[in-house]
């Protein structure tokens, strides 16, 4: 098969476009399709052709030499990457109506990790999303909750959002798009152009700036935000992250481990809204100190055991 541009015609949606590149491997064709963002450019008949039939998540790619002598050469079903959204929640019953219904309908799986809530978080979640999966966390802390949610996830892509209304589910598509365009790990940032926060306090802003600077000096990379709970990654990179902490330091740990594993990392702009009801479980000084210990451990004391359960933060405060 010649290496030319590829003319594709979506039979169902009647969209034509040209891709730069050709492959008889459906996975590669699909990758090209996503990377080139459906640019439309009609080409002459010399090029190789492909037909894509899109039916729900099943995409069938058929490649032939020309549209006139159409001979199917590849007829392999490929599954669109599936997405799991993981939501750690502790006493968030009043906030969930502002979050769960906003998760896009194309998300394949939603997992709420309940931190032994004293309110009716679980009942509200089930009423809002009947197909939601509830995981009762066995330990304590947001890090523990996320790790247990990640372990239960079945999607190819995992997106983590908060249950308090701070992270906008409308941004999930942007995270997934960047992963499907080639990133391994996508970090939300409140400090890029177009981003922001109406939730971050001055002390947390200062602490986050110090933490971000420390990580840049000690580990390299160009992160602009390290203590933000809106991130997404391919489930297949979880073993490389090897997450082993239980508290709010989990987000910093993910950022550092992603750098250490030399993952393809993209930071994208995100807006953090104010928590709608209730108060944060994070204590700036206690959790800030945990994060600094984590950074030092990751840089200088590899063999020292991780911070254990007994230290786990985010005991219920409200
Ligand atoms: N399951 C579980 N969720 C938690 C825990 N601590 C915090 N969360 C959730 O993590 C998200 C962020 O927590 P929050 O207290 O708002 O911290 P902040 O956003 O850093 O101020 C919220 O959805 C919380 O309900 C915990 O120990 N267990
Ligand atoms: Mg919050």
In a domain, 207, yes or no: yes
The answer, yes or no, to whether any atom of ligand 1 lies below 6 A from the CB of 291, is no
Residues 89 and 66 in one domain: no
Residues 193 and 291 in one domain: yes
In a domain, 261, yes or no: yes
Which ligand 1 atom is at minimum distance from the Cα of 114? 1
pLDDT tens digits for range 158-195: 999 999 999 999 999 999 999 998 999 999 999 999 99
In a domain, 318, yes or no: no
Within 8 A by CB and 6+ apart from 76, the residues are 26, 60, 61
Domain that holds residue 11: 5-74
Mean pLDDT (whole number) for 34-46: 38
In a domain, 46, yes or no: yes
Q: Is 84 left (phi over 0), alpha (psi -120 to 50) or beta?
A: beta
pLDDT tens digits for range 113-137: 999 999 999 999 999 999 999 999 9
The answer, yes or no, to whether any atom of ligand 1 lies below 6 A from the CB of 204, is no
Using CA positions, which residue lies closest to atom 7 of ligand 1? 142
Which ligand 1 atom is at minimum distance from the Cα of 145? 1
Residue 227 contacts residue 207 (beta carbons within 8 Å): yes
Burial grade of 158 (CB within 10 A; 0-12, 13-18, 19 or more): buried
Using CA positions, which residue lies closest to atom 16 of ligand 1? 280
Banded pLDDT at 80 (limits 50, 70, 90): confident
The answer, yes or no, to whether any atom of ligand 1 lies below 6 A from the CB of 92, is yes
- Sign of the Cα torsion 115, 277, 224, 283 reads negative
Residue 8 contacts residue 16 (beta carbons within 8 Å): yes
């Amino acid at each position: 098969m010649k290496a030319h541009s590829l003319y594709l015609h979506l039979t169902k949606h009647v969209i034509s476009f040209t891709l730069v590149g050709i492959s008889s491997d459906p996975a590669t064709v699909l990758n090209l399709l996503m990377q080139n963002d459906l640019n439309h450019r009609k080409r002459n008949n010399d090029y190789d052709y492909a037909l894509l039939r899109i039916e729900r998540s099943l995409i069938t790619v058929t490649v032939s030499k020309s549209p006139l002598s159409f001979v199917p050469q590849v007829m392999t079903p490929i599954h669109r990457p599936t997405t799991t959204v993981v939501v750690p929640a502790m006493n968030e019953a009043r906030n969930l109506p502002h979050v769960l219904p906003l998760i896009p309908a194309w998300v394949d799986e939603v997992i709420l990790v309940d931190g032994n809530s004293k309110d009716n978080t679980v009942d509200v979640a089930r009423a809002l999303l009947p197909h939601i999966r509830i995981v009762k966390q066995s330990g304590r802390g947001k890090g523990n909750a996320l790790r247990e949610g990640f372990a239960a996830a079945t999607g190819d892509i995992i997106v983590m959002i908060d249950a308090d209304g701070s992270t906008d589910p409308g941004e999930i598509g942007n995270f997934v798009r960047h992963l499907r365009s080639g990133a391994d790990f996508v970090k939300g940032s409140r400090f890029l152009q177009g981003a922001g926060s109406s939730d971050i306090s001055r002390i947390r802003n200062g602490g986050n700036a110090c933490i971000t600077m420390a990580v840049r000096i000690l580990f390299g990379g160009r992160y602009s935000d390290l203590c933000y709970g809106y991130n997404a990654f391919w489930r297949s990179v979880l073993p490389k992250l090897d997450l082993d902490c239980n508290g709010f330091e989990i987000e910093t740990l993910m950022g550092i481990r992603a750098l250490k594993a030399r993952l393809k990392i993209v930071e994208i702009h995100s807006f953090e809204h104010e928590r709608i009801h209730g108060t944060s479980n994070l204590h700036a000084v206690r959790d800030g100190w945990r994060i600094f210990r984590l950074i030092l451990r990751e840089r200088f004391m590899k063999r020292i055991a991780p911070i254990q359960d007994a230290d786990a933060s985010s005991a219920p405060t409200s």
